[in-house]
Amino acid sequence: MESVLKYLDWTSVGLALLVGLLSLLLLELFRWNSFRSQSPPGPKSLPFVGNLPQFSKDQMGIIRSLPKYGEMCSIFLGRKPTIVLNNMQLAKEAFVQNGTVFSGRPLLPLQAWLTKGYGIILANYGHSWRQQRRFALHTLRDFGLGKKTVEERVAEEAHYLIKEMLKQEVSNIICSIIFGDRFEYNDKRFAKLLEILNESIRLGGTTMAQEELKEDTTFHVENMMKSVFDLFIAGTETTATTLRWGLVYMMNHPDVQERCHEEIIRVLGFDRSPCMEDRAQLPYTHATVYEIQRYASITPLGLIHQTTEPALLRGYHLPKGSTIMVNLKAIMTDKQHWKYPDTFNPENFLDEKGQFCRNDAFLPFSLGPRVCLGEYLAKMELFIFFTSLLQRLKFSWPAGTPHPNMDGIVGTVRSPFPFNMICHSRETTH
């Protein structure tokens, strides 16, 4: 009798589990179909996992395919839809004309626990973000951003970069701006920067100390530490990654590399370091730096945004908390805006007279209130580093080495696969 009851108990448990799982599946299918019916079209997705399996196999292929679903489409990076804006007009309508509505940031539970919503990059749109961003911009200006002294520090670091054969230590630039000194590449003090920063906070009479006296201030140790960390991440990885793509493109297009070098030597010679004022006399080199950023598109979908209130966009009702991304890759390869959208060609930024010309569809730093606050510094670094490298060095692929997959490694930042290169001094060949 006991064995029969035991059998019946296990049967009941199994049936209950099965019914529960089926109920969850039916609820998920209902919820998933409801989302899909109310969202813009997009690639086929699956319940629970959405489009994650496709992204794991070919992320750049999926991103390149999104414009075929229209100017506005949906992807499922999990259980909820993310709205993707595929052209410049729609991106401006959302992020510029309605910037306060589309400038939020989704904060995942793990991020909330790690960052507490502090900092600049991932902080939600609001008082704390505005105060930290404003202070960061003012502080960078106080330390010389936009002045000749910063250009000199960038040129100095370019000299060391050439000497050290690109050891990916671009973070020294933002170190020298924030802390007033650069660090040798093997300097152990670099690991103690945050400890030094912590000590400086306790010094009286600083702008940090003044801000802490205000009632509505968001200035305290944790928030400032996160903001400085954001500046390091934004000012290091993106610039270094863009330079690596630049080297790949120069090795793939030796004619472009030679034309840049000849222009640089004609204007600067071998001895004078470049500065931002040289851009007018180096139109082809200037155009090449911009083309590297356009073609590399190191943040193909930008950083994720979130609506801060309900919104209406092109007939679609977006509830508060909807996640939004802009397809920067599509915008910067849109044939309506570019002469050579799908190939690497500096002529995209040159007019009929061979002079540099800007393009409104050039958006590597995104747009709207959340535009990258380090845009000017990044442009300065890239121009001076790239010009210095091509002034003195020649880059080429090792003989017989297969070229890396040009889709690269796609994460938050799209970077090239590791590669080997041959580097020759230019001065010994002249």
CA-angle at 199, arms to 193 and 200, nearest 5°: 90
Q: Which domains, from first to last, does the chain contain?
A: 37-116+298-331 (3.30.43.20)
pLDDT for position 418: 87
Higher pLDDT, 165 or 340: 340
Cα distances (angstroms) measured from residue 256 to each of 8, 121, 250, 417, 430: 78, 35, 7, 22, 19
Mean per-residue pLDDT for 247-260? 96
Output the DSSP codes for 123-152: SPSSHHHHHHHHHHHHHHHHTTTTSHHHHH
Terminal alpha carbon distance of the chain: 99
Q: How far, in Å, CA of 162 to CA of 352, rounded?
A: 34
Residue 290: φ, ψ to 5°: -65, -40
Residue 303: φ, ψ to 5°: -95, 150
pLDDT for position 148: 64
| pTM across the whole model | 0.82
Helical (H) or strand (E) element with 290: helix 283-296
Number of separate helices (H) and strands (E) present in the chain: 14, 10
Q: Using the predicted structure, report yes or no on whether residue 211 has a pLDDT greater than 50.
A: no
Mean pLDDT of the chain: 80
Q: Using the predicted structure, report yes or no on whether residue 166 has a pLDDT greater than 50.
A: no
Residue 82 token pair: 């993310």
Confidence of residue 201 (pLDDT cuts 50, 70, 90): very low
Cα distances (angstroms) measured from residue 205 to each of 63, 79, 143, 202, 208: 50, 50, 17, 10, 8
Cα distances (angstroms) measured from residue 150 to each of 267, 346, 388: 22, 27, 16
